[in-house]
Amino acid sequence: MISSGLTFGIYPLSAAGTPFGLAVGPEDNYEKIQFALQELRGHSKKLLPRNYLIYTKEWESKMLSNADRYLDAGLLGDLTIGCGDWTEHQELGIELDNWLGFIRKVIDRYGSHLASLQITNEPNLSFMEGSKPYIMQALVEGVIAAKKEIQEHNMPIKIGFGSVPESPAAVLHFWENLAKVGNKTFIDSVDFVGHNFYVDVFEDKPLDLKEITTSVERTLRNLREKDLVTAGIPASVPIRVTENGWPTGKNPVANIERSYERQTEVLEKVIRTIYNLRQEINISHYELFGLRDADSSKDDLFHQYGIMRDDYSPKPSYNTFKKLIQEMGN
């Protein structure tokens, strides 16, 4: 059954992944994060924190320490386990047993605090996880292992995987190859498909609001009516918009200033479009990237995704997002 509204979520921390590494700035303030999440959520609505662990064998202990910190700060809700160091081009293989063992370890340690676990973030993005020759096996076997683990522990965690839209930067034939590699056990293990997309962010000229509506609808229909059909994933499996946002600062291509006011307009248009499509194409979640800027003093987009500045003072879009959660949220 499709719920009447959307389940909202948000990336609550400051660091942002880029093709070149991490965009970082002032340290996260967990007390201010919790205050902002509670204010956005109100007394009756859900707002799930969405956080990330990125697995490599070398990073395992660091990632578990990060997860401990998220747990202590009350920021475990929807968790994504990414796979591989996308900046390390010499990394050609993965020790599959270690990867699957890490997934099981995360479930065993933190499962009682998780609403969902997403295996891979952007496996079909060619310069991120999709650059790894092992990513398809890691995705399929990771989803199956995660589902088996939560069933053995009788946990109500939803299991899914991530994706990005078709584009020149996407991995060719990803969905066809997923259909070949993914068996019935894999399909039966998938509770949702996450989709990361950003409208009017990287184009060389601004879109008008009507074009934004069209772009959002086209992106989500392509996923539901083309890509997921190709992969053999049924319409009963919900889509989650797992990363979406509109950063302020300057467009790196066109050098156009991106205002706080425009951020408000675009985010509202995007979210209302998704809400209007939610029942027709089975969309269950909208998760915003993100709560605060990595570094508000830096002009480039990767440092200014937040609906708050890096000192946790709200941009106008903060109150808009709060209003939309109260109006449309579960």
Would you place residue 17 in the very low, low, confident or very high pLDDT band (cuts 50, 70, 90)? confident
Contacts of 168 (CB under 8 A, 6+ apart): none
Q: How far lies 301's CA from each of 256, 257, 295, in Å?
A: 11, 10, 10
Residue 22 or residue 306, greater confidence? 306
Instruction: Encode burial over 264-284: b for 16+ CB neighbours within 10 A, e otherwise.
Output: bbbbbbbbebbbebbeebbbb
Q: Give the ranges where the chain is alpha helix by DSSP (H).
A: 30-41, 60-72, 96-110, 135-152, 174-181, 184-189, 209-222, 228-231, 260-277, 316-328
- What pLDDT score was predicted for residue 18? 73
The answer to whether residue 317 scores a pLDDT higher than 80 is yes
What average pLDDT does range 11-26 have in this prediction? 86
User: CA-to-CA distance for 20 and 12, rounded, in angstroms?
Assistant: 21
Return the structure tokens found at 139: 């995705």
Average pLDDT across the chain, whole number: 94
pLDDT average, residue stretch 183-205: 94
DSSP-assigned states of every residue in 75-92: --SEEEEEES-TT-TT--
Per-residue pLDDT tens over the stretch 148-169: 999 999 999 999 999 999 999 9
Query: How far apart, in whole angstroms, are the C-alpha atoms of residue 209 and residue 247?
Result: 16
Q: How far apart are CA 233 and CA 205, in angstroms?
A: 35
Among 13, 106, 109, 3, smallest CA distance to 46 is for 3
Check whether 142 has a pLDDT greater than 80.
yes
Encode pLDDT of 252-298 as tens digits: 667 788 999 999 999 999 999 999 999 999 999 999 999 999 999 99
Tens digits of residue pLDDT in 221-238: 999 999 999 999 999 999
State residue 3's pLDDT score. 55
Distance CA 98, CA 110 (A): 18
In the predicted model, is pLDDT for residue 21 greater than 60?
yes
Q: Which CATH class is domain 7-328?
A: alpha beta
pLDDT for the residue numbered 91: 66
The residue-averaged pLDDT of 182-211 equals 94
Query: Residue 1's pLDDT band (boundaries 50, 70, 90)?
Result: very low
What average pLDDT does range 206-220 have in this prediction?
Answer: 96
Chain mean position to CA 257: 26
User: Which tokens sit at 188?
Assistant: 């039966």
Assign 86 a pLDDT band (cuts: 50, 70, 90): confident
User: Does the structure show a pLDDT above 70 at 19?
Assistant: no
Which tens digit of pLDDT belongs to each residue from 91-127? Answer: 667 899 999 999 999 999 999 999 999 999 999 999 8
Q: Where are the domains of the chain?
A: 7-328
The single residue listed with the structure tokens 């952007």 is 122
SS3 223: helix
